[in-house]
Amino acid sequence: MRPNRELVALGSANILAGLWQGFPVSASQSRTSIVDSAGGRTQVAQLILAVGLLLFLFFLTGLVALLPKVALGAILIVTAIGMLELASLRGLYKVDRVEFGIATGVTLAILLAGVVPGIILGLLLSLISVLVEISRPDDAVLRRRLIDGKFHDCRDDEEGVESVPGLLVYRLYAPLMFANARHVMNRIRSLVDAADPPVRWLVIDAQAIHDMDVTAAQRFAELHRELADEGVDVKIADAPRPFLEELAKVGLSEEIGKMDFFVSVGKAAEAFARQHGDAAVRAAGR
């Protein structure tokens, strides 16, 4: 089944119904679920249902009139319970509890208020979830694994990793924009202030910063100047083109200097070792 073809068919039927003064055409999730539970797999099932409906309308309306409404309600309730897909909700709870909360809220809204209010609630909850995720993005302080000498996002309890004294490697897993600029800059500021021994180089692993707006670029420029006044050199590693373009727009590319851009975190760490190797060793020994 192709959903787009189904929607095109419904839209075409409604256009023709309007031209010939017919009834609007729509789909019914409950009827679809009943047909599915009865074993229907093709459009032939719908044709058989249409023929059966015509037979009831012409010959069996008296019998239908005697059918209790509670029986029809019971059919719909049983069908609705089957539509809940509790197994899928349990799996979603294990994978992502935020998505589980959105799915549960939308389900309850549809059951209590109807389909349209449920869809609207789902859109609002999804939008709020995206805004929260963007404004509080994931990040990491990279550490070097002894087995390969490369910097990785390691677990706090992982063994065989080390931090280079005086070198702070920070990675952001999101674009930089006005919604999260303040949070990210405060986060970097707190990491620098809490470092022991003091940070000499701050390396921004920018490979995941695929976009940055003007507001975020201005805040980054302000942070760069503050850290420079404190003797902390800010370096950029593995920066994508959009990130570099925004730095150039606010004049920060020239301020940082070409020598402070590196193709990778590893190259930046090698440059730090050449410049501060002895001092880093002494700091590690304290």
Contact 201, 235 (CB under 8 A): yes
CATH number at residue 185: 3.30.750.24
The pTM for the full model equals 0.68
Domain boundary among 109, 135, 161: 135
Tell me, yes or no, whether 113 and 154 share the same domain. no
Give the number of domains in the chain.
2
Q: Give the distance from CA 274 to its chain's centroid.
A: 40
Tell me, yes or no, whether 183 and 125 share the same domain. no
Contact 280, 167 (CB under 8 A): yes
pLDDT for position 45: 78
Q: What is the DSSP string of 266-286?
A: HHHHHHHHHHHHHHHHHHHH-
Cβ-based neighbour number of residue 90 at 10 Å: 10
Cis ω before 197 (30° cut-off from 0): yes
The boundaries of the domain holding residue 255 are 139-285
Half-sphere exposure of 183 (CA within 13 A, CB side): 16
Tell me, yes or no, whether 29 and 100 share the same domain. yes
Q: Give the distance from CA 24 to its chain's centroid.
A: 37
Q: Determine, yes or no, domain membership for 261.
A: yes
Tell me, yes or no, whether 203 and 98 share the same domain. no
8-state DSSP, 38 = T
Domain boundary among 135, 165, 191: 135
Phi, psi (deg, nearest 5) at residue 202:
-110, 115
Tell me, yes or no, whether 145 and 281 share the same domain. yes
Tell me, yes or no, whether 122 and 146 share the same domain. no
Contact 167, 269 (CB under 8 A): yes
pLDDT for position 73: 80
pLDDT in single tens digits along all 286 residues of the chain = 566 777 788 888 888 888 888 877 776 666 666 677 677 777 787 788 788 878 877 887 777 777 788 887 887 777 777 677 777 888 888 888 888 889 888 888 887 887 788 889 999 999 998 888 888 999 999 999 989 889 999 988 888 899 899 999 999 998 888 889 999 999 999 999 999 889 999 999 999 888 888 888 888 888 988 999 999 999 999 988 888 887 787 777 777 777 788 999 999 999 998 887 644 433 433 3
Coil, strand, or helix at residue 248? Answer: helix
Distances in whole angstroms, Cα of residue 283 to Cα of each of 163, 170, 197, 214, 234? 12, 20, 7, 38, 20
pLDDT for position 28: 65
Q: Determine, yes or no, domain membership for 93.
A: yes
Tell me, yes or no, whether 150 and 268 share the same domain. yes
Tell me, yes or no, whether 121 and 60 share the same domain. yes
Rounded to whole angstroms, the Cα distance separating 72 from 77 reads: 9
Rounded to whole angstroms, the Cα distance separating 92 from 3 reads: 24
8-state DSSP, 239 = -
